[in-house]
Amino acid sequence: MMNEEKKDDILKDERYILSTDNILGKDVIDKSGQSIGVVNQVHIDKLDKNIIGISIDSGFMKPLVFVGIDLIVNFGVDSVYIQQTPRSRYIDMIVFDNIGVIVGKVKNVYFKDESFEISHIKIKVSMLKSLLLDVKYVKRIGRNIFLNISKRNVKILLRKQN
């Protein structure tokens, strides 16, 4: 009963109530402080009448990214914080080899089962060729990706793969 009263109080308190205007168009930021995009849609379950997630617009020509409500940490005044970095964040990142030579761009990333830990990255090496690379060859992921092998070794791996 007490809990119900508390809930009512919270609902009356305007600080806890949001409208879609407060959410749409806001910056979406992951836990590492990287920009994921802006909120484009809010999804509501018709039966439960609960918000189930948001769609994020990550930029021109990029598909919308759906993020479930469980992964949303906070609906802030000016931004939305999410817990995990979605796959789309990695797409089109530049991949450098161990001496800073551009190897290609990220085409896709693959996560380990039921986690957001990367297991493989697919690199677009040329117009027609892509390489699926184990994460053990990745030295660092920041705004772009650094490998711990040279471009020459990447080409060798590409030849082996084909």
Partner 1 sequence: MKKIEQISNIQYTLANEFNIKKLIGKNVISQSGELVGKVKNIYIKDYRIIGILVKKFMNFEIFIQNEFFDSFTPEAIILKIDPVTELIGLKVFDKNGKKLGKITRILREGIKNTLIAIFVKKGIFRSEIKISLNDIQTISEFVILKKEFEDLDL
The residues binding partner 1 (CB under 8 A) are 26-27, 29, 31-35, 74-81, 93-94, 96, 98-101, 140-146
Q: How far is the CB of 115 from partner 1 (least distance, A)?
A: 21
Torsion from C-alpha of 56, 59, 62, 63, nearest 10 degrees: 20
- Of 28 and 158, nearer to partner 1 (C-beta) is 28
| Alpha carbon distances (Å) from 101 to 20, 30, 34, 146 | 45, 28, 24, 10
Place of tokens 């896709």: 108
- Of 45 and 59, nearer to partner 1 (C-beta) is 59
- Of 63 and 76, nearer to partner 1 (C-beta) is 76
Q: How far is the CB of 7 from partner 1 (least distance, A)?
A: 21
Q: How far is the CB of 53 from partner 1 (least distance, A)?
A: 17
Q: How far is the CB of 110 from partner 1 (least distance, A)?
A: 20
- Of 131 and 145, nearer to partner 1 (C-beta) is 145
- Of 106 and 131, nearer to partner 1 (C-beta) is 106
Yes or no: say if 91 and 71 are a contact pair by the CB < 8 Å rule: no
Q: How far is the CB of 34 from partner 1 (least distance, A)?
A: 5
